[in-house]
Amino acid sequence: MPSKLDHPQQTHHKTLNRRRILQMGVAAATTLMLPNSYGKTLSNAIEMPDRKLSLINLHTGESIKTTYWAEGQYQANELIAINRILRDHRTNDVHPIDTKLLDLLNTLQQTMNSEQTFQVISGFRSAKTNATLSKNSNGVAKKSLHMQGKAIDIRLPGCQLSDLRKAAIHCQAGGVGYYPRSNFIHIDTGNVRRWG
């Protein structure tokens, strides 16, 4: 409640200042609570307005080179195109890919200082495909994050697989699986963990 000495405009101004301070505090706290790569991505959104990816699906041969984030927002048509490239090639089911996963790929590419195209071994997997793969291999989780569009299996030409793994682990943004015999790493946006 304003004091008798406060002018109505001063009270409104104080309220706006309090709101602004609270908003800034919430934004700062949110950034601090996110993994380093996400906080970095958020804080650099103005400095680096474009986020790009280059992907090839090794099963279909389809590829995309895209700017999926521009002018401060995700580009809907580009996300649709990425979802299509990363679909379950066995069933043709398409599912939205987690934008945090795309941002992680973008961060990895910058960390590796590479302009090469990510080779995708597996993106989205339908429940049917995952169940089949799980029966035939103990390396496939029954509740895989691939089924939620939150995981991808990749390699990056010109980069040592072990270096790509180290960079992914350093991001502290989710799970990192190492499969040197099959020449790929798994990354996801689940809990921070590692295996392989």
For 108-166, write each residue's pLDDT tens digit.
999 999 999 999 999 999 999 988 888 877 777 878 999 999 999 999 999 999 999 99
Q: Is the pLDDT of residue 102 over 90?
A: yes
Residue ranges per domain, the chain?
A: 8-34, 44-195
| Per-residue model confidence (pLDDT) at position 48 | 59
- Bridge partners for 155 per DSSP: 119
Name residues whose C-beta falls within 8 Å of residue 19's C-beta, 6 or more positions apart in sequence: none
Task: Judge contact between 196 and 177, C-beta under 8 A.
Answer: yes
Question: C-alpha angle 194/87/39, rounded to 5°?
Answer: 45
pLDDT of residue 191: 96
The CATH class for the domain spanning 44-195 reads alpha beta
Q: Which residue has the higher pLDDT, 104 or 138?
A: 104
- What percentage of the chain has pLDDT greater than the value 70? 76
DSSP string, 30-41: HHHHS-HHHHHH
- For residues 118 and 103, what is the distance between their CA atoms, to the nearest angstrom? 13
Integer Cα distance of 14 and 80 in angstroms: 44
Encode pLDDT of 165-175 as tens digits.
999 999 999 99
The predicted-structure confidence for 125-141, as pLDDT tens digits, reads as follows 999 998 888 887 777 78
Out of 8-17, 53-62, 133-142, 177-186, which region has the weakest mean confidence (pLDDT)?
8-17
- Over residues 58-76, the pLDDT tens digits come to 999 999 999 999 999 999 9
pLDDT at 10: 46
What pLDDT shows up at residue 47? 59
Comparing 43-47, 66-70, 100-104, the range with the smallest average pLDDT is: 43-47
Whole-prediction pTM: 0.74
